[in-house]
Each structure stands twice: as C-alpha cells, then as structure tokens.
Structure 1
C-alpha cells in the first residue's frame, strides 16, 4: 500500500512539473566585441517586418524589449549603437500518451488493466532577439527562447507569456565577458 501511495505522489509531482511552462534560453555572441560601449538602441524595421506573427504580437514583443533594455540603462535613439531585430519560429507538437488502468484484482493483487490513449496538441514557439552593431551592420549577440505558447485565447496571459520570453532571453544580455576577451586576447 505504501508503494502505491509513493507512486501516486511521484505521479502528481511529475504532472505538476510538466504543467509548468518553462522557457529554454540559449545565447551566442561575438567574443571580440566590447558590450560596454553600447548605450543606445533602435529597432531594425527590415528584420522585424519579416517576423511571421501578427502585427499586434510584434508590438507586444517590441514593447517588452524596449522595457527590458531601458530598465538596464539603454536609451532608445535615432542614432543607435545597436539595432534590435526579432524573428520567430513555431512548431506544432502532437503527443500520444498510453494510459494504463491500475486497480486491485483477485486476492488483493494489483493489476494493470486495459488502458486508453490521450492525444495532446501543443504549440512550441521560438523567439530570436538579434542585436546588431549599428556601425558595422554585424550581428554581435543573439538570444533564443523556446517554450509553449498556449494561452487559451486569454490576452492577459498572452501578454504575460511574451514578457516572460523577452525577460528570460534578455536576462543573458549583456554577456559577462572576461577582460582578455574584450581586448581581443585569446585565453
């Protein structure tokens, strides 16, 4: 009986952890760039116009990026040090779960009975935030956030989810660089 309670507790914890909506973040940057020299930014319209999402979602993303950068001391400028661009990818995931019924059989022995299948659909999206050196027109930093996009049509949840994506991606900017990297000296 203790084993079944333990199994049930583990199952509940696993389901709750699976229900948490995490965002996986990956970043890359040019190790020869001194990110301390960047103080101002602007949005790179030609890149943003290629994002395959609604104009309203683009506005939500850009407002979130502007908020995050300004909260870190960067200023929006018509003569920027860095240009900000975004692009998105979306993938529909279909998962099939084989569920087996559990119960007590003859003489008090547990059994695994006939099961059923559960099909789950989920949309996983990736948001890329590119930072481009305005003078050189070269990519210097890229952040990618990947996670579930399902908000069940709730606009408040959608806006919150976008803010979470942007915040977690830009949490890694600017990168922490050893001083020898900035000076162009390899370690």
Structure 2
C-alpha cells in the first residue's frame, strides 16, 4: 500500500513539474480580428537573456505555432512578435512521515516498529517565457502571454521539446476569446 501511495505521489509531483502554467493579459479595446500577418521584433528579441541557439529555437516555435493558426509572416506585418525570459533556481523539500507496523529489529515500548522520516530535496530551474504581440500601426503592446515551468536541460532534444511545449501553450491562447 505504501509503495502504491508513493508511486501515485511521484507521478503527481512529476506531472506538476512538467506542466507549463500560462497567464495572459491583453488590451480589451484591441481588435484582434485585424491581425493577419506578423514579423519578429529583432530589437526586443536581441535583449532576451538566453543563448542565440535558444533564441532560434523560440523563434522557430513561435513561427510554427502562428503559421498553424493561419497567420502569415510578412515584411509589412500587422503585428510584431517579441519575447524575453527570466529564470530562477527553485528548491523543493518534501518530508514524508511513515508510520510502520510490522516486525523488525529492536523494540520500542511507545511505538511498534517506530517511524520513518523520508526527506526528499529537489533542485531545478524554473523558467518564464514572455511572448509579446505589438500592434505595428499603434506601436503598442496588445497581448502578452506568460508561461512558467520547470526547465529540462539534460540534452538538446529535451531542451527543444520543452521550448516547443512552452511556446505552444502560450501561443494557443492567442487571440483572446477565440
């Protein structure tokens, strides 16, 4: 029974770490139906505090998602797309107190087989990706998607998959009220 509870807890914990939490904010006065074309805002993207390789990964992922939604990349766009990132180290500490009953070495008059303390410490990097859509004509931010989740940096394939997951979750919420 303890093993089943531990496995269930581990699956829930791992799935919570894998998810991307997304929030969005937007200009309620903006007419999102007029946005059909996009381009990248190089000045903003150049300021993102990630490697050039990761910038390319984010750009490709955003482009893929927008094209899939029917937007067109253009030299004369309706909106500009920019992004920036933040990251921080996180530490999770979980303590499981397990009371055990059964046979074993030793004897305690107050507890039969005592109590086991399991302390699990995990350290990871939590990343936040901000994706901004800017009205080209007004030169104003009209929509922002913010995705936060644990980063997986074990290898290039997992890193790229995680970036794609972040971008897909964020961009899928654009335009608002679709």
**Shorter-chain TM-score tier:** 0.7 to 0.9
* TM norm structure 1: 0.83
* TM norm structure 2: 0.87
TM-superposed CA distance for 1:10, in Å, is 3.4
SS in 2 for 1:104: coil
Which of the numbers 37, 56, 68 marks the counterpart of 1:40? Answer: 37
Instruction: Indicate if the aligned counterparts of 2:152 and 2:158 stay in contact, CA closer than 8 A.
Output: no
Label 1:44 to 1:110 Cα distance change in 2 as closer, same or farther (>3 A). Answer: farther
Deviation string, structure 1 residues 95-121 (Cα, Å, up to 9, x no partner): 2233445433569x7554353533210
Query: Counterpart in 1 of 2:60?
Result: 63
Label 1:57 to 1:110 Cα distance change in 2 as closer, same or farther (>3 A). Answer: farther
Label 1:81 to 1:121 Cα distance change in 2 as closer, same or farther (>3 A). Answer: same
Which of the numbers 50, 55, 59 marks the counterpart of 1:53? Answer: 50
* Distance of 1:98 and 1:91 partners within structure 2: 23
Query: Counterpart in 1 of 2:7?
Result: 12
* Distance of 1:48 and 1:118 partners within structure 2: 38
Which of the numbers 100, 103, 118 marks the counterpart of 1:103? Answer: 100
Which of the numbers 23, 27, 31 marks the counterpart of 1:30? Answer: 27
* Distance of 1:43 and 1:28 partners within structure 2: 20
Alignment gaps of 5+ in structure 1: 178-187
SS in 1 for 2:29: coil
Instruction: Indicate if the aligned counterparts of 1:102 and 1:110 stay in contact, CA closer than 8 A.
Output: no
**Within 5 Å, which residues of 2 pair with 1:141-152?**
141-152=143-154
* Distance of 1:98 and 1:112 partners within structure 2: 16
Aligned residue pairs, count: 170
Instruction: Indicate if the aligned counterparts of 1:42 and 1:82 stay in contact, CA closer than 8 A.
Output: yes
* Distance of 1:118 and 1:19 partners within structure 2: 13
**Within 5 Å, which residues of 2 pair with 1:112-151?**
112-151=114-153
Which of the numbers 73, 77, 91 marks the counterpart of 2:74? Answer: 77
The yes-or-no answer on 1:164 pairing with 2:132 is: no
